[in-house]
């Protein structure tokens, strides 16, 4: 009898364990997508042009998932003459570094007619997006939103009644191919400022919604592809605005007329809430803000987006916060909010310095094991204008780093590690004494779980007196933003200014003109990861570095990720479809 009872209890335990496993499996879903990337005609700013689309859509389809879900995208390249990859911006790609979507780094470019399967877990809720990471395909319009909600049974640390997604971008009438040739020409030809700013792929060129603008007034029926997407709201409700910037160049400022915004999330990490009247957002960043519709419901209000950090002539992008039951056709009676002065960098810094981690966010390690000081400079290589880091302008190899390091292939990239700092004599406040630089494809190799500090150091450009804003994005990790400073970083003077108590965690951070930004991260994600300026022309001109850690611990690389270069030759000799 006792034996029967023990067996019965054992069966009950096993049944309970099976039910728990089934519940977990039911909670976490695999979300399947079939995408085709191709060029198409579109009118993003009311002028017909060629754009890159996915399944005939521009911007690409929005992915919505829950934390813990697996995303499975079968991506077919329908372009006739060029490769393509998709980077899932802000997704850490734990155990799937080959799915990061970086050509020549994590994978080979997907050739015309080929299909590549991205399969990865979204392990953390937040506001993310995806975009092309081959050539300048982000400038061509290859991007879309990726929203990860909390899993069932969990709640956000704030309440809201509804939400909107705002994917911001900039738009040129010259093609991305035209821009690439200009940036690679001698003499150098700058691409100029964008013709338009887009909200969810919609903007207006040579006209404005606002009668207060110097441009002619736009007239829309509402069904035009460039007509603004109106945000329809109910009075006395709280809405979450998920804002992400996929701009190729522009730093932006967003304001909602007569409304205060409460910032609650940055790059997929909760922050200590703080109220603002407007928000600066740089390329590669994402934020969530809460807006309460507590204004006069008998009128509508402008949402205005303008350029910061550059002296641009690009007009604001506008749309309307439409209060029910007021008609959306009733334009706000007063002019839109004015974008702050483009060169008011103190204002920009004051916003960045208000970002602190929400209580309960992991604090950074108290000390670091290794420090890189990365000097951002504009240089010349054989008369061509480039960007360089510690006097090395990044050139990507023909064999993806992930495969060549995993399989210890020789002569795939520069074996020498790039410089970890720059000379003490360099004056960041003046043009370089020696403007010449070199190209390189070396890698910073980290030990697993090594704590790494990165000091991003800004400097004067090649000629004249100017220093540009650079938003830097790290793949595969979040980092702690320990602090900002002006001039050249001095460890003895500036280390005591760093915040190691409650710094915000992000995946993209800006360096301000003539300043420095201090970051800290843990090298705990086996793979090879890009770290680069998120301004598309700057990356195209060499403004990036490569990090690698624990590549020997990468368990699996699908063969289709490494069919080019030396890894392609290796596969041809082994005749295998799965590589471990």
Cα dist from 348 to 273, 469, 484, 492, whole Å:
18, 11, 12, 26
Categorize the per-residue pLDDT at 575 as very low, low, confident or very high, splitting at 50, 70 and 90: low
Q: Is 95 left (phi over 0), alpha (psi -120 to 50) or beta?
A: left
Return the pLDDT at 467.
Answer: 96
Q: What is the pLDDT of residues 99-127, one digit of tens each?
A: 999 999 999 999 999 999 999 999 999 99
Average pLDDT over residues 436-452: 97
Categorize the per-residue pLDDT at 219 as very low, low, confident or very high, splitting at 50, 70 and 90: confident
Return the pLDDT at 15.
Answer: 57
**What is the C-alpha end-to-end distance of the chain, expressed in Å?**
51
For residue 253, list its beta bridge partners: 280, 306
Cβ neighbours of 144 (radius 10 Å): 24
Categorize the per-residue pLDDT at 580 as very low, low, confident or very high, splitting at 50, 70 and 90: low
Average pLDDT over residues 498-508: 97
Residue 14 has pLDDT above 70, yes or no: no
Average pLDDT over residues 366-372: 97
Query: What is the rounded average pLDDT for all residues in the chain?
Result: 94
Cα dist from 408 to 100, 295, 404, 448, 577, whole Å:
21, 63, 6, 18, 19
Categorize the per-residue pLDDT at 213 as very low, low, confident or very high, splitting at 50, 70 and 90: confident
Q: What is the pLDDT of residues 449-499, one digit of tens each?
A: 999 999 999 999 999 999 999 999 999 999 999 999 999 999 999 999 999
Residue 3 has pLDDT above 60, yes or no: no
Q: What is the pLDDT of residues 220-233, one digit of tens each?
A: 887 899 999 999 99
Distance CA 109, CA 553 (A): 24
Return the pLDDT at 13.
Answer: 47
Distance CA 326, CA 231 (A): 12
240 CA to centre of own chain: 20
Percent of the chain at pLDDT > 70 equals 94
pTM across the whole model: 0.94
Q: What is the pLDDT of residues 528-566, one digit of tens each?
A: 999 999 999 999 999 999 999 999 999 999 999 999 999
Categorize the per-residue pLDDT at 576 as very low, low, confident or very high, splitting at 50, 70 and 90: low
Average pLDDT over residues 159-179: 97
Return the pLDDT at 214.
Answer: 87
Return the pLDDT at 545.
Answer: 98
Return the pLDDT at 264.
Answer: 98
Return the pLDDT at 257.
Answer: 98
Average pLDDT over residues 334-356: 95
Categorize the per-residue pLDDT at 22 as very low, low, confident or very high, splitting at 50, 70 and 90: very low
Q: How many CA atoms lie within 13 A of 275 on its CB side?
A: 4
Domains of the chain and any CATH numbers: 29-35+51-149 (2.60.40.420), 162-352 (2.60.40.420), 370-567 (2.60.40.420)
Distance CA 282, CA 305 (A): 12
């Amino acid at each position: 009898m006792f034996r029967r009872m023990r067996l019965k209890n054992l069966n009950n335990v096993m049944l309970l364990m099976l039910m728990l496993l089934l519940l977990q499996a039911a909670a976490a879903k695999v979300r399947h997508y079939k995408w085709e990337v191709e060029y198409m005609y579109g009118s993003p700013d009311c002028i017909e042009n060629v754009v890159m689309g996915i399944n005939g859509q521009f911007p690409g389809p929005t992915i919505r998932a829950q934390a813990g879900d697996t995303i499975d995208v079968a991506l077919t390249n329908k372009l006739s003459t060029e490769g393509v990859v998709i980077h899932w911006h802000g997704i850490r790609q734990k155990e799937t570094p080959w799915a990061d979507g970086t050509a020549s780094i994590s994978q080979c470019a997907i050739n015309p007619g080929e299909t590549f399967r991205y399969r990865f877990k979204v392990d953390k809720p937040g506001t993310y997006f995806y975009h092309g990471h081959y050539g300048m395909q982000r400038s061509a319009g290859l991007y879309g939103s990726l929203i990860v909600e909390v899993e069932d049974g969990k709640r956000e640390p704030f309440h809201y009644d509804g939400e909107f997604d705002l994917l911001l971008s900039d738009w040129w009438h010259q093609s991305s191919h035209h821009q690439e040739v200009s940036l690679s020409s001698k003499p150098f030809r700058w691409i100029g400022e964008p013709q338009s700013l887009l909200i969810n792929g919609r903007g207006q060129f040579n006209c404005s919604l606002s009668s207060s603008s110097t441009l002619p007034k736009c007239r829309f029926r509402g069904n035009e592809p460039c007509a603004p997407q109106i945000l329809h709201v109910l009075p006395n409700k709280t809405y979450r605005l998920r804002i992400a910037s996929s701009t190729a160049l522009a730093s932006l400022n967003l304001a909602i007329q007569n409304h205060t915004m409460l910032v609650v999330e940055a790059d997929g990490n909760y922050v200590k809430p703080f109220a603002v009247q407007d928000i600066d957002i740089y390329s590669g960043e994402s934020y969530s803000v809460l807006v309460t519709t507590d204004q006069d419901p008998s009128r509508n209000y402008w949402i205005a987006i303008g350029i910061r950090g550059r002296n641009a002539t690009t007009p604001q992008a506008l749309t309307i916060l439409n209060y029910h039951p007021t008609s959306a056709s009733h334009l706000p009676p007063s002019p839109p909010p004015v974008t702050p002065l483009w060169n008011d960098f103190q204002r920009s810094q004051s916003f960045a310095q208000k970002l602190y981690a929400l209580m309960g966010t992991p604090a950074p390690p108290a000390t670091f094991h290794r420090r890189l000081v990365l000097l951002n400079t504009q240089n010349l290589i054989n008369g061509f204008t480039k960007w360089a880091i510690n006097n090395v302008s990044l050139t990507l190899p023909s064999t993806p780093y992930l495969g060549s390091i995993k399989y210890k292939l020789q002569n795939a990239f520069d074996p020498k590690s790039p410089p970890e700092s720059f000379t003490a004599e360099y004056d960041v406040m003046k043009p370089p004494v020696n403007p010449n630089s070199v190209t390189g494809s070396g890698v910073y190799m980290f030990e697993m779980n090594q704590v790494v500090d990165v000091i991003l150091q800004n400097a004067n450009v090649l000629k004249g007196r100017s220093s540009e804003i650079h938003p830097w994005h790290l793949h595969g990790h979040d980092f702690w933003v320990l602090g900002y400073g002006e001039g050249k970083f001095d460890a003895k003077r500036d280390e005591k200014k760093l915040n190691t108590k409650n710094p915000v965690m992000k995946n993209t951070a800006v360096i301000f003109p003539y300043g420095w930004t201090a970051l800290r991260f843990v090298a705990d994600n086996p793979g090879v990861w890009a770290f680069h300026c998120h301004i598309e022309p700057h990356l195209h001109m060499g403004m990036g570095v490569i990090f690698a850690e624990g590549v020997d611990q990468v368990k699996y690389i699908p063969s289709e990720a490494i069919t080019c270069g030396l890894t392609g030759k290796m596969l041809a000799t082994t005749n295998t479809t799965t590589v471990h």
